[in-house]
Amino acid sequence: MTADRFRFGIEVLLDRRPRWLRTERVGLLCHPASVDQQLVHSSDRLRDAIGKQLVVLFGPQHGARGEKQDNMIESADYQDARLGVPVFSLYGKSREPTEEMLRGIDVLIVDLQDVGTRIYTFVSTMVACLTAAAKFRRRVVVLDRPNPIGGTQVEGTPLEAEFCSFVGAIPGLPMRHGMTIGELANLANERLQIGCELEVIAMTGWRRENYWDDLRLHWVAPSPNMPTLASALCYPGTVMFEGTNVSEGRGTTQPFELIGAPFIDASRLIARTHSYRLAGVHLRPVTFEPTFHKWAGKPCGGVQIHVLDRLTFEPFRTALVLLAAIHRLWPKDFAWKPPPYEYEHERMPIDLIAGCRDVRSHVSAGSPVNMLQQAADSEAGQSRIDRKKHLRYE
């Protein structure tokens, strides 16, 4: 790859000004992090470029403007007062665009910032858009964006087909997938045999080894509980605590960096992890009190995950060690969270998050963490091979 100046997909699109952009009616799927390098929102860039041809916006989980703080809080449709266009929620009465929503457009532009973890629901929303577009004969153009935690490291259990859900739409994808949202769009379109007329507008100047801060980009939280790059680095592991009664730090200023519960003794927990020689990370004992969500208003003992070397840090393995240690030390207090979870009312949340039953069964049985980790690494390695032809940046 040549040493091109970095450009987001939205910037490349507007630099090129393809003919269809001048003639066709456009819908835009976006959220707060859909911005260019000057922090101008893509809806504003498109409105300036094509005027009234931008006819509708779509919003994923947390809303097009990111106003919904917590998970599983739906958004309503509304009229955008500034742009004068309708905004349809794809996390409300419908999670897939309906024929009525798509009726006034020729092409749907998807400009969403992913964070490199399989369960992040923006990818599921994109897959739903590809499916609806194929059904109702609309084109989709995905504007690519960087994977903020790099495109080389792959880790964690791949998604088994029977556990596909709104927190995992592409079978075989490992927890930390190392792909961009544009690469994922091509992968999903082929693997799920969607048959959407799809175009991906690639970035320029991004290399697979680049993390977000390597590009000196401003961080805009793509969702309210992803406030920093540090949160995104821990997320492929600590998101598993969403499937338990242990807080993953929601309701604090450091979600996914903090994990804890009132019954946890931080010193005992950290001592239990020493034999695993976790690389690239320091676990610091903390006490925190969430203002909402699990254990709101109650002091929680736990740890803050400080990433010392992100090239050796393994977020999935680190969280798996912590999960197993908490279960072993406090078996009567620890619990798996029951349904419902993200529109699923039967299957266990941890199984949907992990993408398999193995995490829950191994932890519950007290099996050695390394046994599960080795199996996950082997399967993730196969996923690396399967994804190779969809990688656009070398």
- Tell me: the pLDDT tens digits for 14-32? 999 999 998 999 999 999 9
More confidently predicted of 306 and 386: 306
Q: How far is CA 11 from its chain centroid?
A: 22
Asked: is 9-145+180-224 a CATH 3.30.565.10 domain? The reply is no
- Select from 178, 182, 174 the least CA-distant residue to 140: 182
pLDDT, residue 100, reads: 96
What residues does each domain of the chain span? 9-145+180-224, 229-382
Residue 179 in this model has a pLDDT that exceeds 60 = yes
pLDDT surpasses 80 at 67: no
- Whether the pLDDT of residue 376 is over 80: the answer is no
CATH 3.90.1150.140 at 229-382, yes or no: yes
| Across 78-99, average pLDDT | 93
Q: What average pLDDT does range 304-332 have in this prediction? A: 97
Residues 116-122, mean pLDDT to the nearest whole number: 97
d(CA 206, CA 186): 18
9-145+180-224 and 229-382 have identical folds: no
Categorize the per-residue pLDDT at 3 as very low, low, confident or very high, splitting at 50, 70 and 90: low
From 9, 89, 22, 87, select the one nearest 53 (Cα to Cα).
22
Q: Check whether 11 has a pLDDT greater than 80.
A: yes
**pLDDT value at 1 more than 50:** no
Nearest alpha-carbon partner for 35 in 141, 120, 136, 111: 111
Whole-number Å distance between alpha carbons of 238 and 7: 31
